[in-house]
A = this chain, B = another copy of it.
């Protein structure tokens, strides 16, 4: 009997090794297919301390060509990521089309642990859960395959493992205070993990793996990965249908209804400019100290005066605490990722001001009109952008969006002037003229954008800029007012 039992065990073990070998070969073959199908893959591996997340990843990557994957773990995430929104570091880590990112713990661990340690409130916990669901849905809709695994071991098993790590001088240091705390609080962690998985399983399901049997866990996770990729390859790159959440919106006028006649006289301009710039300079000091991030978004017609407007806002700011991000066409490695990626990676740290000279709204303007993305893509983008901006304001950012507005006659005048002024010729290109021909199409797109994305938390302001000086003063006033309010709110929040 025992002999038979032993034989069976040996056979099972042998079979397991063979299965793993086969799966590894399949994974290897899938690499090239992923690349030609341009499918990006994210594998999130969460689980208990000492459950073997690192070893599991080691097995998963062992045959994959390093050109095709990346491993991201908390140790390589810089401390400074604390000064960015919650999902910043995970957004940064998303792979290019055709490649794989393995995450050795991620948005689950960082949320649950902080919550149990009372470093985030219940409200913030709920926000994070919502953000995770939005994040996963946006990636899924953008064609990403996401596989979420939880490597489970029971409390006794964890005890054994921590114990054996501590016993060897080579591995003793690996057991951290956090690990021991988790072990002591095993029950609370169980409940918290459970709750998190329940609340974040709708967009992308969780798979629980038995971490106590290492080889089985390797086989099972590889199997899941191979199947998931096979399915993705068969179905082709997924893009989700437009989805719409009701955000509280600010009512916006149609562009054609905007009165562009306001002007300012030279004397008032000079006086106001000086006053507002000096106030902005003071406020910059305060928001810097209060660590309030500020994001100013500029969009508008060509030659509307964005550049000059931005310079007047930037001038009083301390160059150590702000930057201007000029947004041009995406580079190849940007084009190869979800469309918001290149904006996530450009966010300012807390206390800093970032001025975006053109923004993520390119998605629903130029990309829509030039067919750089599908209809589903740009229709979905309104909601994706609203969610993105809510993540920013949830984080505490002031987000203001300016549409610098002129009429067609004024544009023609300025184009002609640029054409006839040698040192300004570089500012005018054939593309500007081509865009001008599409004025009415753009107007439709801009109107729709203003209606659908002027949320209460991140509103649009139409800036009448036939008179550039009037436009600058109006913009500065809006910024000053918003920053004053943010400083007060921040103060009253602290007093509560």
Contacts and interface: CB of A to CB of B under 8 A. Distances in A.
A289 B172 CA distance: 11
A76 B321 CA distance: 8
A58 B319 contact: yes
Contacts of A73: 319-320
B66 A357 contact: yes
A362 interface: no
Given A79-B79, A285-B170, A320 B67 contact: no
Nearest to A357: B66
B349 A315 contact: no
Nearest to A425: B32
Contacts of A328: 67
Contacts of A54: 318-320
Interface string A301-326: 00000010011001101111101111
A57 interface: yes
A66 B314 contact: yes
| Most-contacted residue by chain B among A70, A76, A282, A326 (CB, 10 A) | A76
A80 interface: yes
Interface string A332-358: 110000000000000001001001010
Nearest to A328: B67
A52 B319 CA distance: 12
Contact of A321 (B75, B173, B320): B75
A373 interface: no
Most B C-beta atoms less than 10 A away, residue of A174, A286, A320: A320
Interface in A44-80: 54, 57-58, 61-63, 65-67, 70-71, 73, 75-76, 78-80
- Candidate in A54, A65, A314 with the most chain B CB atoms within 10 angstroms: A65
Given A80-B79, A170-B282, A426-B32, A66 B319 contact: no
Contacts of A104: 319-320
Contacts of A63: 311
Given A71-B323, A170-B282, A79 B76 contact: no
B65 A307 contact: yes
A102 interface: yes
Nearest to A29: B423
A349 to B, nearest CB: 7
A56 to B, nearest CB: 9
Interface string A8-46: 000000000000000000001100100000000000000
A54 B307 CA distance: 22
- How many A residues are at the interface, by size bracket? 35 or more
A78 B79 contact: yes
Given A170-B285, A286-B170, A315-B58, A320 B80 contact: no
As for how many copies of this chain the complex holds, the number is 2
A117 to B, nearest CB: 22
A176 to B, nearest CB: 13
Nearest to A173: B289
A355 B67 CA distance: 12
A35 B170 CA distance: 54
A86 B65 CA distance: 32
Nearest to A286: B170
B349 A76 contact: yes
A171 interface: yes
A310 B71 contact: no
Given A320-B73, A320-B104, A326 B171 contact: no
A171 B333 CA distance: 42
A495 interface: no
A234 interface: no
Nearest to A73: B320
Contacts of A171: 285
A315 B62 contact: yes
Nearest to A310: B66
A331 interface: yes
A347 to B, nearest CB: 13
Nearest to A312: B62
B285 A319 contact: no
A107 to B, nearest CB: 17
22 contacts: A28-B423, A29-B423, A54-B318, A54-B320, A58-B315, A65-B307, A66-B314, A66-B326, A66-B355, A70-B323, A71-B323, A75-B320, A75-B321, A78-B79, A79-B80, A102-B319, A104-B319, A104-B320, A170-B282, A171-B285, A173-B285, A331-B331
Interface of A: 28-29, 32, 54, 57-58, 61-63, 65-67, 70-71, 73, 75-76, 78-80, 102, 104, 170-171, 173-174, 282, 285-286, 289, 307, 310-311, 314-315, 317-321, 323-326, 328, 331-333, 349, 352, 355, 357, 423, 426
